[in-house]
Amino acid sequence: MTADHLLLPRRVRFDLSRSPLHWIPHDPDAAYVMNSIHLLLPAGEFWFCRVYNQALPYVKDAKLRADVQGFVRQEAIHARSHETALNDYLRRHGIEIDTVLRAAHFVFDGLLDQKLTLKLGNNFIARQVQKRMARWQLRQRLAIIAAIEHYTCILGKWVLEAEALDAPNVDADLRDLFRWHGAEEVEHRCVAHDLHAHLGGTTLERQAWAVVAFPVLMALLAYSAKHMMNQDPAVGGRFFFTRWERASRRGTLPTLESLVGAALRYLDPDYHPDGEASLQDALDYFARSPAVQAALARERAAA
Ligand SMILES: [Fe+2]
Ligand SMILES: [Fe+2]
């Protein structure tokens, strides 16, 4: 992470009351895939915050500590913004999303929040074993978050650069919601990797969890997007990844090849997220984001 850059929360608000369901005109497939990423994220982002609050007491470096705190504040706002603005927007358009939200909560609040325990009784050795297991489990969770954050950085960089989304008939509020989130993912891209390493995480742990995370994330994404597409008579019935590939040729989704390439890059032992995107690109977007500028104006008025 850049030595002198502070991660600050931006208290943005989004009004999607006028946003159409097909917010990328003539490309509902891309809109459903992007909506589904952001439908799944809040459960994950709240889980990130819980794990990071557990990790914080072990962070000895002052700059990393500030980055972790900044990361938690940003992710909490991401999760709340999507829960309030995006979920209400989809429900208002008659899309049933509770099935997808239940799947996301099953993964992040059920599966990944399970605590490993051994019934060894209450004695010195049992307490030491339990303590070491808790620390090991915390490190595995940090490795999982680091892998997910690699993909959120890749998607964040893509959404900032996707020229097809600059078309004037793309809904400006949803575009700003996704780009503000993407820019903050680019901005805080190094925190998860650096925190995992700081707490003794190994390259092998990082690689192993990435191998698991990529197919699981793609499966969740396909399940969520298909669940919404199946409710929309305007969307045809081709194979999900064929539809994705067609949208990527129109420039409204990243290519599947680029995502597989990003997954392979993460396995490089010398990988570091700093080289994956540019902080300046994120800062440039904040300077022109209507929601970020409105949030700054509200803060100035309240000061
Ligand atoms: Fe986020
Ligand atoms: Fe993030």
Ligand 1 centroid to residue 118 C-alpha, Å: 34
Residue-level pLDDT at 118: 75
Q: Token match 């002198």: residue?
A: 4
- Whole-angstrom Cα distance, residue 232 to residue 224? 13
Ligand 1 centroid to residue 120 C-alpha, Å: 39
The verdict on residue 23 lying in a domain is no
Residue-level pLDDT at 2: 61
Residues in the chain: 303
Alpha helices of 122-202 — where are they, by DSSP H? 124-161, 172-187, 191-198
Ligand 1 centroid to residue 22 C-alpha, Å: 23
Count Cα neighbours of 173 within 13 Å in the Cβ-side half-sphere: 16
Residues in Cβ contact with 58 at an 8 Å cutoff, skipping those fewer than 6 apart: 199
The verdict on residue 19 lying in a domain is no
The verdict on residue 17 lying in a domain is no
DSSP label of 273: G
The verdict on residue 6 lying in a domain is no
User: Is the C-alpha dihedral spanning 28, 100, 75, 194 positive or negative?
Assistant: negative
Model pTM?
Answer: 0.94
- Whole-angstrom Cα distance, residue 76 to residue 78? 5
The verdict on residue 261 lying in a domain is yes
The bound ligand whose nearest atom lies closest to the alpha carbon of 149 is: 2
- Token pair, residue 203, equals 């390259």
Ion ligand 1 contact residues with beta carbon within 5 A:
75, 78
The bound ligand whose nearest atom lies closest to the alpha carbon of 178 is: 1
Ligand 2 centroid to residue 247 C-alpha, Å: 25
Residue-level pLDDT at 26: 85
Q: What is the CA radius of gyration of the chain?
A: 20
Instruction: Report how far apart, in Å, the C-alpha atoms of 137 and of each of 195, 201, 242, 253 are.
Output: 14, 11, 38, 35
The verdict on residue 296 lying in a domain is yes
Helix, strand and coil in the chain, % to nearest 5: 70, 0, 30
**How does pLDDT run along the chain (303 residues), one tens digit per residue?**
566 899 999 999 999 999 999 999 889 999 999 999 989 999 999 999 999 999 999 999 999 999 999 999 999 999 999 888 889 999 999 999 999 999 999 999 988 888 877 777 888 888 888 889 999 999 999 999 999 999 999 999 999 999 999 999 999 999 999 999 999 999 999 999 999 999 999 999 999 999 999 999 999 999 999 999 999 988 866 788 899 999 999 999 999 999 999 999 999 999 999 999 999 999 999 999 999 999 999 999 998
Residue-level pLDDT at 121: 80
- Whole-angstrom Cα distance, residue 299 to residue 271? 38
Burial of 149 (0-12, 13-18, 19+ CB in 10 A): buried
- Whole-angstrom Cα distance, residue 15 to residue 82? 11
Residue-level pLDDT at 130: 87
In which domain, by residue range, is 222 found? 28-302
Q: How many domains does the chain have?
A: 1
**Strand runs labelled E in the chain:** none
The bound ligand whose nearest atom lies closest to the alpha carbon of 153 is: 2
The verdict on residue 10 lying in a domain is no
The verdict on residue 4 lying in a domain is no
